[in-house]
Amino acid sequence: MVDFTAQPATGSHLRYTWLFGDGTTAGGLHVRHRYADAEGSDLDGLSGTGSGRFRVLLHVEDKQGHEDWAEEGITVVGRWLPAAPDAPTLPGVAYHIYPGTWPQLPAFATQTPTRKGVAVTPAAADSGGFTHYAVTYDGLLEVPTDGGYTFHLLARDGAQLIIDGQMLAKTGTPFAEVCGSSLNAVRYADGTIGLRAGKHTFRLETLETMSPFSPRLLWEGPGIQLTDVPEKAFSHLNSAAKLPADLHAQKQDASVSTHP
């Protein structure tokens, strides 16, 4: 159940109409609404995350026909993903580079990386001079509080984001920026997921075969306006430390989900 409250507007005999983004409406300064599902206005819940974003509209009108609109996004969580158990970590994400002009993301489990390292963010990875390659970024992503988080992925040559073994966003087939261009256009994908506070397994797979631009990952959530995921949110497991059995199992599950 969600409570919606409008700030009273100046004037008398005003009519307040709420459009909840799921095809239903209600009237009044203060209303309560229960969403029947968590698919979201854009049906992003169909990705299987169990969460989705709805676009809520408020229409205010007086007797003279003067009107105004307000809009707000709301995330409905139908299924929560728990944080990973505590384990020793280090800052940054681990990356592996696979040289080659890949037409699409390869089956990474069958490939051997040529270069690897740790970067503070995916955009900061050092390709070692390679200009045509596929790359994976693995680690943990920490969210500050329980809530519904929407991730926005931008890439030119193709990319996909997996959190807690769940495919969350995948950009479409690359195409030329403009006719005759040697670069691909920026493709966009997003996904919404309900995460408990703490660290969650993170994997980003991307191609850099035609366009020399790293992927960009943004997020928004409770208390977070749309912005790039900050360095402090990324970490990776300290391989020198012994992992708890349940975290090791979670890593294996994520690998299976990523490469069916």
Residues 236 and 136 in one domain: yes
DSSP labels for 48-79? Answer: TTSEEEEEEEEEEE-TTS-EEEEEEEEEEESS
Residues 37 and 146 in one domain: no
**Cα–Cα dist 190/201, whole Å:** 18
pLDDT bin (cut points 50, 70, 90) of residue 88 is: very high
Residues 66 and 119 in one domain: no
Question: Does 84 fall in a domain?
Answer: no
Question: Does 19 fall in a domain?
Answer: yes
Residues 153 and 241 in one domain: yes
Residues 53 and 94 in one domain: no
Residues 94 and 64 in one domain: no
**Cα–Cα dist 132/26, whole Å:** 54
Which of these ranges, 141-145, 207-211, 225-229, has the smallest mean pLDDT?
Answer: 207-211
Residues 29 and 54 in one domain: yes
pLDDT bin (cut points 50, 70, 90) of residue 103 is: confident
Residue range 122-154, pLDDT digits in tens: 988 888 888 889 999 999 999 999 999 999 999
Question: Which two three-digit tokens encode residue 126?
Answer: 């050092």
Question: Does 100 fall in a domain?
Answer: yes
Residues 177 and 234 in one domain: yes
Last residue of a domain, one of 29, 55, 77: 77
Number of other CB atoms surrounding residue 189 within 10 Å:
19
Residues 183 and 203 in one domain: yes
Determine the 3-state secondary structure of 205 from DSSP.
strand
How far apart, in Å, are the Cα atoms of 260 and each of 10, 15, 136, 161, 230? 58, 53, 16, 15, 30
Question: Does 218 fall in a domain?
Answer: yes
Residues 125 and 214 in one domain: yes
Last residue of a domain, one of 77, 98, 128: 77
Residue range 5-31, pLDDT digits in tens: 998 877 778 999 999 999 999 999 999
pLDDT bin (cut points 50, 70, 90) of residue 45 is: low
Strand pairing category for 80-81 and 187-195: parallel
Give residue 21's domain range. 2-77
What per-residue confidence (pLDDT) applies to 248? 43
CATH number at residue 131: 2.60.120.1560
Question: Average model confidence (pLDDT) for the chain?
Answer: 87
Say if residues 141 and 229 touch (Cβ distance below 8 Å). Answer: yes
**Total domain count for the chain?**
2
Is residue 258's pLDDT more than 60? Answer: no
pLDDT bin (cut points 50, 70, 90) of residue 241 is: low
Determine the 3-state secondary structure of 16 from DSSP.
strand
Question: Which two three-digit tokens encode residue 54?
Answer: 């709805």
Residues 247 and 219 in one domain: yes
Residues 93 and 218 in one domain: yes
